[in-house]
Chain A
């Protein structure tokens, strides 16, 4: 393992109807230990994974959304969110939970992890990766 690779995890599914979102997050957490250059992308129904105020009590399913807010502690600080996917679902940036990280190169200043990009920009982000894992 010489040079770190760029890993992108692409999240395309809503959080609780299928297991994809949870098992994607499990790979991200394990992968964080490998010191690679990791980012996440949320598009299609995947944007619902970041929705504010998730409450799964009635479902009997574990609410794993708080884990996204802990990603900064794992060195995962780039979460790309596709603007068109939000708009197509009647969502705005304000409907998403705040996700931040402490920038160790800037006096541990708290900075936003969510990066809102349009479809064309996200395509460029994807093209720039070494490894793309799609869930």
Chain B
């Protein structure tokens, strides 16, 4: 089985990103292939390295980054949604003149276009959507 995952809500505000993470982790542990995890709408906020949750709570962004590293996951943040919400990589920060050190994309995530979401739907046997 080959799945793609779509995450449409931000961390902490909504359970969708927690559920998506737990689902993705469980699927990977069962040997399911994850073609891509795509972050859209407020879901892009899962991919900022600047979140600092309280120490006695889960760190959702770090969970994703670690899962991504362990399984070589393709964690893709939508560029249009990310720009609206202030999520930038080095290239975008430079292109929009946001200054040195403005890039805040978290480790293991990359920023790309919506075409990557459509491709995720085409290439996987199922696209599983987590949202409101």
Contact = CB atoms under 8 A, between A and B. Distances in A.
A134 B115 contact: no
Contacts of A33: 115
Listed residue (B81, B117, B122) with the most chain A CB atoms within 10 angstroms of its CB: B122
18 contacts: A1-B122, A19-B41, A20-B132, A23-B40, A23-B41, A23-B80, A27-B117, A30-B113, A33-B115, A34-B115, A34-B122, A36-B118, A131-B127, A132-B127, A134-B129, A135-B8, A135-B41, A135-B131
Contacts of B119: 34
B113 to A, nearest CB: 7
B41 A133 contact: no
Listed residue (A26, A36, A130, A131) with the most chain B CB atoms within 10 angstroms of its CB: A131
Interface string B74-102: 00000011001000000000000000000
Interface of A: 1, 5, 7, 19-20, 23, 26-27, 30-31, 33-34, 36, 130-135
Nearest to B80: A26
A19 B9 CA distance: 12
B7 interface: no
Given A5-B122, A27-B118, A134-B131, 20 more contacts: A1-B122, A5-B121, A19-B84, A20-B132, A23-B40, A23-B41, A27-B117, A31-B114, A31-B117, A34-B118, A34-B122, A36-B118, A36-B122, A130-B121, A131-B122, A131-B127, A133-B6, A133-B121, A134-B129, A135-B8
Interface size class on chain B is 10 to 19
Contact of A133 (B115, B122, B127, B132): B127
A34 to B, nearest CB: 5
Nearest to B81: A23
A132 B129 CA distance: 8
Nearest to B8: A135
Contacts of A1: 122
Interface string B6-35: 101000000000000000000000000000
